[in-house]
């Protein structure tokens, strides 16, 4: 298909994108790495000096770092658990014949399109507020004491909210994958005497394995960067109870203006994300060959 | 299945799925309800809210009267449309060349572009913030538009690439045999066939840009803040605010909910990077 | 008009030489068929002529002008693709008119020509439909119409009938041959179906691994195949190729005899065998004979009304002057 003429024009057409993305990646990345080795605080200009590995050391040994890692793990694992299992269930349900499937699908998908700041605020205030929120009102109506979700279980509350937002994503992906399953295979299994559970375990699940993996990998990459929901609900608190790694770096960089420390944290976050990304890229690469 | 599905099981499925759907959708439904209430009514018990309190437009009016609400709304519009438009200008030629004149590097370039999307934004927060400060881009719509363009560029290129690849190469060859120059080939044959794919990509990216809540919050203050950042002002309000928050929220998310309705397939295509078909 | 010459044309993809240096002359007005097994390079050759691929070396001349570096648009050729490659967003009318639009011909002439082409291809009722609303055969005709209005020096067909069902294929074959008679323009036709090749061509080019095995008229190839490959490729069912003692008797490595040149008898003959599967076509029957000691399975054609039983012993005698002899390399011994 390609002839000499098209090849040179092709290279020309792809260069703006490549240059822009290259610049976008390299320039800030190099700067982050560079800053991470400096003592550099915006509030104390003129005292910038080389710090070696100090920033990394102090960042990692700070107790808030351990908290942040624990919280990040809890948040990511929690959301993954809820959305994968919930998404699987929802996908299996939506795959069945029913009336008004289009409408029901839209209702299930809608949360993903709500901006994170709105989601978080609505849940925190209209639902989880122990006095004025729906949950509290219903429970009080039955004579039980209301639960102060954000007061007592802030991280779990945020995890719940983020799960609500991402459940549609998992559902959509898994539903798409489910619908690509050959009906003939299932019918053959049925004729072979397999119960629904057998069919699910031996045929559907292996087919979905790939999609589930993709859902987990992609969600992990985005969940590591949860930020807005924490900002509008708890600001990372109480203490560091809801601070994840992203929020910790944000605090360091833009609240404490410690550029050096924030950059060191940033490098750590990048390395973590890269580990997940490598697995994801392998899966994508396999598909691109197909 | 060849057997007819009993109406009864269809009804059961509808009820169960409908219930789940209702639960998922309920928060959105609820804030629609609350947005039509007065602040005093908005904090009453749910059944009372539904059945024994009046409906009013006053919350919408209050929110709109805040002159900054419209400004933030227009900021969202400008940066969503602007970043998508800018990205298209760069992405269409790039996707074209990768889809129709692939080289042995094409796959690697594509994967590298996708990998830039996996960079956690917090990792470059510091340098971007400082660069923006030094170039007077902080709290400007222009600066924000550029950033949003860059972070969504990989997805746009990827989606356009997949749509272009679906255009049978033979049709473009036929155009060439019919005497069309490269320009004519693109204008008369490629673009009309690619328009649905381009439209889908545009739709998804407007949604992603509208909802972006990291850079839009950290790089803006009063002037250029879009709705994502503006809503954060309700996180520590004074006095009663449920109805106003609801009204503001509804106005902020309504356009995207509607667009999202049309974008389900695009969502799968764009955000799984082809790893799921 | 329509004379095409390929001089030492060679094509390499990466490290693989798909077409070694090849020479071919196509006269004006000829119906030439490129035929060969999958991967023999026939489509590649067509695309080189079309200009959709660049030659690695060698020259292509169209009407004595060196077209090697000319883009497809400037070669005055028209191509009909296997998948028809119609523009899905344009009506049939616009599809057919497209080449004229690219040539900047005025609208009135465009319309006249579109109507004329549509009339000759029975498409007049479909002019305002989109390709998606047409059947396979109709789409094929639109593709042909689009090629005709270009008034090219030569038509290029890339397996145009492969996507049609059997009955349609036969009909379209005749229509294309009619077209050729009417327009008298050179046509280069690629197919893997040797029946199409035999019935349609003035000249057949048999290709294998990018090499021309033989060029000649259909009957030439049938009666005097230059080598074993052509002998086995042309003619259906395949020629029986026999090695061993029988071949040595005639001073050859391999001898070949076509199914219709073997006489069958239940009582006497040169070779003996047992009847295997019989394919009854009605007018003819092809029986497969086993246990001859010469060939795993020999195919023989007999008249449709003769009865044979499975497992029956049978005698075969080849017609002496219809035996083809091939040497150790596979070339024909004259």
Asked if C308 and C278 touch (Cβ cutoff 8 Å), the reply is yes
The pLDDT, as a whole number, for residue B3 is 56
Do residues C99 and C172 share a domain? yes
pLDDT single digits (tens) C119-156: 988 899 999 999 989 998 899 999 999 999 988 999 99
- Give yes or no for residue A181 having a pLDDT over 50: yes
Do residues C11 and C127 share a domain? yes
Per-residue burial over B43-64, b if 16 or more Cβ lie within 10 Å, else e, is beebeebeeeeeeeeebbeebe
Give me the number of domains chain B comprises: 2
- Using CB atoms, list chains with 3+ pairs below 8 Å to chain A: B, C
Does C27 reach chain A within 8 Å, measured CB to CB?
Answer: no
Say whether C71 and A1 touch across the interface (CB within 8 A). Answer: no
Lowest mean pLDDT among A44-58, A145-159, B35-49: B35-49
pLDDT single digits (tens) C190-219: 998 888 999 999 999 999 999 999 999 999
> Which residue from B minimizes the CA distance to C97?
B178
Say whether B101 and A2 touch across the interface (CB within 8 A). Answer: yes
Asked if C240 and C259 touch (Cβ cutoff 8 Å), the reply is yes
- Give yes or no for residue B87 having a pLDDT over 90: yes
pLDDT single digits (tens) A189-204: 888 888 888 888 888 8
User: The domain A37-289 is classified under which CATH number: 2.30.30.90, 2.115.10.20, 1.10.3720.10, 3.40.1160.10?
Assistant: 1.10.3720.10
Compute the nearest-CA separation of A224 from chain B (Å).
8
The pLDDT, as a whole number, for residue B105 is 86
Q: Where are the domains of chain A?
A: 37-289
Torsion angle, alpha carbons of B125, B129, B132, B134, to 10: -140
- Using CB atoms, list chains with 3+ pairs below 8 Å to chain C: A, B
Asked if C284 and C301 touch (Cβ cutoff 8 Å), the reply is yes
Asked whether residue B1 is domain-assigned, the answer is no
d(CA C272, CA C295): 11
Out of A13, A90, A245, the one facing B20 most closely (by C-beta) is A90
Do residues C220 and C281 share a domain? no
- Give yes or no for residue C179 having a pLDDT over 80: yes
- Using CB atoms, list chains with 3+ pairs below 8 Å to chain B: A, C
From first CA to last CA, the distance across chain C in angstroms is 37
Do residues B144 and B16 share a domain? no
> Which residue from B minimizes the CA distance to A212?
B276
Compute the nearest-CA separation of A132 from chain C (Å).
57
Residues 93-112 of B with CB under 8 A from A: 93-94, 96-98, 100-103, 107, 109-112
Say whether B116 and A25 touch across the interface (CB within 8 A). Answer: yes
- Work out the widest C-alpha separation in chain C, in whole angstroms: 76
| SS3 label, residue C275 | strand
Do residues B162 and B26 share a domain? no
Parent domain of B129 = 66-271
Lowest mean pLDDT among A93-107, C37-51, C151-165: A93-107
The pLDDT, as a whole number, for residue B276 is 63
Does C53 reach chain A within 8 Å, measured CB to CB?
Answer: yes
Asked if A16 and B94 touch (Cβ cutoff 8 Å), the reply is yes
Q: Pick the residue of B13, B110, B122, B210 with the most A CBs within 10 A to test the interface with A by mutation.
A: B122
Asked if A285 and A66 touch (Cβ cutoff 8 Å), the reply is no
Do residues C142 and C164 share a domain? yes
Do residues C214 and C108 share a domain? yes
Do residues B110 and B37 share a domain? no
Does the CA dihedral C68-C73-C76-C80 come out positive or negative? positive
C293: left (phi over 0), alpha (psi -120 to 50) or beta: left
d(CA A145, CA B102): 65
Compute the average pLDDT of residues A202-229.
88
- Give yes or no for residue C276 having a pLDDT over 80: yes
> Which residues are CB-neighbours of B135 under 8 A, at least 6 positions away?
B143
Asked whether residue C197 is domain-assigned, the answer is yes
Do residues B54 and B72 share a domain? no
Do residues C226 and C253 share a domain? no
Domain's final residue, options C204, C231, C258: C231
Compute the nearest-CA separation of B249 from chain C (Å).
41
Interface size between B and C, measured as CB pairs under 8 A: 59
Q: Encoding tokens for residue B123?
A: 């990792």
d(CA B170, CA B154): 27
Asked whether residue B276 is domain-assigned, the answer is no
* Cα angle value B150/A225/B229 (rounded, 5°): 70
Asked if A243 and A71 touch (Cβ cutoff 8 Å), the reply is yes
Q: Pick the residue of B101, B104, B172, B178 with the most C CBs within 10 A to test the interface with C by mutation.
A: B178
Asked whether residue B202 is domain-assigned, the answer is yes
The pLDDT, as a whole number, for residue B145 is 95
Do residues B44 and B88 share a domain? no
Q: Which CATH number covers residue B169?
A: 1.10.3720.10
- Give yes or no for residue C309 having a pLDDT over 90: no
pLDDT interval class at B2 (50, 70, 90): very low
Q: How much is the mean pLDDT over chain A?
A: 87
Asked whether residue C332 is domain-assigned, the answer is no
- Give yes or no for residue A281 having a pLDDT over 90: no
Compute the average pLDDT of residues A95-114.
87
Q: Which CATH number covers residue C105?
A: 3.40.50.300
Residues 4-63 of A with CB under 8 A from C: 4-5
Asked whether residue B204 is domain-assigned, the answer is yes
Interface size between A and C, measured as CB pairs under 8 A: 9
| SS3 label, residue C7 | strand
- Give yes or no for residue B1 having a pLDDT over 70: no
H or E segment and range at residue C162: none
pLDDT single digits (tens) B171-215: 989 998 998 888 888 889 988 988 888 888 898 899 899 999 999
Asked whether residue C79 is domain-assigned, the answer is yes
The pLDDT, as a whole number, for residue A2 is 47
Q: How many CB atoms are located within 10 Å of the residue A41 CB?
A: 16
Do residues C85 and C193 share a domain? yes
> Which residues are CB-neighbours of C59 under 8 A, at least 6 positions away?
C5, C6, C7, C8, C9, C66, C68
Out of A9, A104, A172, the one facing B268 most closely (by C-beta) is A172
Asked if C11 and C47 touch (Cβ cutoff 8 Å), the reply is no
Parent domain of C135 = 4-231
Chain A partners within 8 Å of B252 (Cβ): 115, 118
d(CA A157, CA A135): 13
Asked whether residue C333 is domain-assigned, the answer is no
Q: What percent of chain B has pLDDT over 90?
A: 29
| SS3 label, residue B236 | coil
Say whether C150 and B193 touch across the interface (CB within 8 A). Answer: no
The pLDDT, as a whole number, for residue B238 is 67
Chain C partners within 8 Å of A5 (Cβ): 71
Do residues B45 and B77 share a domain? no
Say whether A4 and C54 touch across the interface (CB within 8 A). Answer: yes
Do residues B170 and B227 share a domain? yes
pLDDT interval class at B85 (50, 70, 90): very high
Q: What is the pTM of this model?
A: 0.77
Interface size between A and B, measured as CB pairs under 8 A: 325
Give me the number of domains chain C comprises: 2
Asked whether residue B142 is domain-assigned, the answer is yes
- Give yes or no for residue B100 having a pLDDT over 90: no
Lowest mean pLDDT among A130-139, A148-157, B42-51, C260-269: B42-51
Say whether C52 and A4 touch across the interface (CB within 8 A). Answer: no
d(CA C201, CA C131): 30
The pLDDT, as a whole number, for residue C12 is 92
């Amino acid at each position: 298909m390609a002839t000499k003429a098209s090849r040179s024009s092709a290279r020309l057409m792809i260069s703006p994108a490549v240059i822009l993305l290259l610049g976008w990646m390299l320039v800030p990345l190099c700067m982050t790495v560079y800053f991470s080795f400096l003592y550099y605080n915006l509030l104390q200009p003129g005292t910038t000096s080389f710090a070696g590995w100090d920033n990394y050391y102090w960042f990692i040994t700070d107790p808030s770092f351990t908290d942040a890692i624990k919280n990040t793990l809890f948040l990511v694992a929690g959301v993954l658990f809820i959305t994968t299992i919930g998404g699987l269930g929802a996908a299996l349900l939506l795959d069945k014949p029913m009336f008004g499937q289009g409408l029901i699908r839209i209702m299930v998908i809608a949360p993903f399109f709500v901006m994170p700041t709105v989601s978080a605020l609505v849940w925190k205030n209209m639902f989880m507020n122990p006095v004025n929120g729906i949950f509290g009102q219903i429970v009080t109506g039955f004579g039980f004491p209301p639960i102060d979700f954000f007061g007592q279980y802030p991280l779990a509350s945020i995890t719940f909210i983020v799960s609500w937002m991402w459940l549609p994503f998992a559902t959509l992906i898994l539903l798409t994958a489910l619908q690509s399953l050959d009906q003939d295979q299932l019918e053959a299994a049925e004729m072979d005497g397999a119960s629904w559970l057998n069919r699910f375990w031996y045929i559907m699940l292996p087919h979905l394995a790939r999609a589930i993996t993709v859902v987990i990998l992609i969600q992990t990459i985005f969940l590591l960067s949860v930020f807005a929901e924490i900002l509008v609900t708890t600001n990372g608190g109480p203490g560091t109870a809801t601070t994840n790694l992203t929020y910790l770096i944000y605090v360091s960089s833009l609240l404490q203006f410690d550029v050096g420390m924030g950059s060191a944290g940033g490098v750590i976050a990048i390395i973590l994300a890269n580990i997940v990304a490598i697995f994801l890229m392998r899966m994508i690469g396999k598909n691109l060959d197909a | 299945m060849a057997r007819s599905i009993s109406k009864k099981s269809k009804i059961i499925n509808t009820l169960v799925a409908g219930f789940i759907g209702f639960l998922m959708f309920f928060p959105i439904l609820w804030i629609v309800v609350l947005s039509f209430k007065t602040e005093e009514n908005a904090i009453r018990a749910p059944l009372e809210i539904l059945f024994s309190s009046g409906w009013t437009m006053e919350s919408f009016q209050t929110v709109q009267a805040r002159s900054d609400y419209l400004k933030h709304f227009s900021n969202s519009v400008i940066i969503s449309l602007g970043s998508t438009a800018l990205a298209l200008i760069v992405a269409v030629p790039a996707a074209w060349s990768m889809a129709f004149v692939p080289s042995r590097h094409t796959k690697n370039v594509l994967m590298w572009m996708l990998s830039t999307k996996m960079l956690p934004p917090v990792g470059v927060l510091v340098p971007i913030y400082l660069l923006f400060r030094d170039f007077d881009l902080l709290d400007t719509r222009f600066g924000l538009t550029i950033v949003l363009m860059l972070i969504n560029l990989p997805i746009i290129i990827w989606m356009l690439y997949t749509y272009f690849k679906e255009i049978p190469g033979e049709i473009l060859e036929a155009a060439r045999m019919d005497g069309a120059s490269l320009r004519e080939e693109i204008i008369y044959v490629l673009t009309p066939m690619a328009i649905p794919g381009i439209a889908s990509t545009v739709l998804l990216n407007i949604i992603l840009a509208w909802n972006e809540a990291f850079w839009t919050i950290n790089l803006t203050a009063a002037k250029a803040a879009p709705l994502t950042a503006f809503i954060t002002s309700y996180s520590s309000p004074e006095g009663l605010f449920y109805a106003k928050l609801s009204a503001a929220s509804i106005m902020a998310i309504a356009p995207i909910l509607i667009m999202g309705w049309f974008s389900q397939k695009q969502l799968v295509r764009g955000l799984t990077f082809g790893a799921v078909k | 008009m329509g004379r095409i010459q390929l001089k030492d044309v060679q094509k390499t993809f990466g490290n693989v030489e798909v077409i070694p240096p090849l020479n071919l002359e196509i006269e004006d007005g000829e119906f030439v068929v490129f035929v060969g097994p999958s991967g023999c390079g026939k489509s590649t050759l067509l695309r080189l002529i079309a200009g959709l691929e660049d030659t690695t070396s060698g020259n292509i001349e169209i009407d004595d002008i060196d077209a090697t570096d000319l883009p497809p648009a400037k070669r005055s050729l028209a191509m009909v693709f296997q998948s028809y490659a119609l523009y899905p967003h344009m009506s049939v009318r616009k599809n057919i008119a497209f080449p004229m639009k690219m040539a900047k011909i005025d609208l009135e002439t465009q319309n006249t020509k579109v109507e004329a082409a549509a009339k000759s291809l029975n498409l007049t009722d479909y002019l305002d439909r989109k390709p998606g609303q047409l059947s396979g055969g109709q789409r094929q005709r639109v593709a042909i119409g689009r090629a005709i209005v270009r008034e090219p020096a030569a038509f290029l067909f890339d397996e145009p009938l492969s996507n049609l069902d059997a009955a349609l294929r036969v009909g379209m074959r005749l229509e294309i041959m009619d077209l050729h008679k009417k327009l008298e323009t050179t046509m280069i036709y690629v197919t893997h179906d040797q029946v199409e090749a035999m019935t349609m061509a003035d000249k057949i080019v048999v290709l294998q691994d990018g090499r021309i095995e033989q060029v000649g008229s259909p009957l030439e190839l049938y009666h005097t195949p230059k080598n074993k490959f052509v002998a086995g490729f042309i003619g259906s069912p395949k020629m029986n190729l026999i090695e061993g003692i029988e071949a040595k008797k005639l001073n050859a490595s391999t001898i070949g005899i076509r199914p219709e040149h073997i006489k069958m008898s239940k009582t006497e003959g040169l070779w003996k065998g047992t009847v295997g599967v019989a394919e009854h076509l009605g007018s003819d029957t092809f029986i497969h004979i086993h246990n001859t000691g010469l060939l795993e399975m020999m195919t023989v054609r007999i008249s449709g009304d003769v009865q044979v039983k499975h497992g029956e012993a049978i005698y075969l005698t080849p017609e002496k002057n219809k035996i083809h002899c091939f040497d150790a390399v596979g070339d024909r011994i004259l």
